[in-house]
Amino acid sequence: ADYLEDKGLQQEAEFAVVKIAGAIVGSHPQQSKTMLQKVIQTSKNDSLRRQAQEAINQIERFDDYLTAWQVSGPYTKDNADGSELFDITFAPEQGGLASVPAIWRIMPAGTNKDRPWLMELDKVLEGNNRAAYLRNKVWSDKGRKVRLELGSDDGIKVWLNGQLVHANNVTRGASPAQDKVEMTLKQGWNRLLLKVTQSGGEWAACARLRRLDGSKLDGLKVQTED
């Protein structure tokens, strides 16, 4: 973004910033928004400013949902169905003890324009009777109790800093706040791991952090693992 201050490179830099910010809007929403706001403030190109504002509008539609994730999977086991896979331990749960380390990649965000907060696993991982994992890290400016609101299709497990905090082995379609989990964030970085099972049909999950009363939560940063 420093190149935005260089008059000779400004226009080229602005195009690059909008392109890059659009690509990382899901994995680094706060950084993307800062970059895009800078373009709106400095650019003399109306079309580019409009593109930057549209990207910011998309970020704001996420409304505190966690959209910065890495995904690993799919994982299967013999003829086990989705509900049976729920309690089978795969590499992401084993950490450094896994015989074959988990492979992670960025989970695309905003694949559904009407539900941009929904992580559509079936758009990146195909098939039935399998499991996938999502991970990220959440920075809190202080230790605090929070409410994690979850939706899933189908079952979902959640670990916070390596500790299991929620498990619901169900078959359902995903919608916001189907499960609500009270948990405690420590000051600094906290690591979230989700396991989402799939029996058939759609496969997705969503997660949102709020105050215990359900109101907006400030003082957090969310990003993918380095």
DSSP-assigned letters across all residues of 54-78: HHHHHHHHTTTB----EEEEEE--T
Amino acid of residue 177: A
Q: Is 52 helix (H, G, I), strand (E, B) or coil?
A: helix
SS3 state of residue 66: coil
Q: Using the predicted structure, report yes or no on whether residue 91 has a pLDDT greater than 80.
A: yes
Give the domain ranges of the chain.
Answer: 2-61, 70-223
When comparing pLDDT for 226 and 46, which is higher? Answer: 46
pLDDT at 15: 84
* Topology (CATH) of 70-223: Jelly Rolls (2.60.120)
- 108 exposure class (CB count in 10 Å sphere: 0-12, 13-18, 19+): middle
Q: Quick one: how far is CA 184 from the chain centroid? A: 19
pLDDT of 120 strictly over 90: yes
The single residue listed with the structure tokens 């169905």 is 81
Q: Is the pLDDT of residue 62 over 70?
A: no
More confident residue, 104 or 22: 104
Q: Over the stretch 174-200, which tens digit does the pLDDT of each residue have?
A: 999 999 999 999 999 999 999 999 999
Interval 45-61 mean pLDDT: 82
Q: Per the structure block, which two tokens stand in for 198?
A: 């799939």
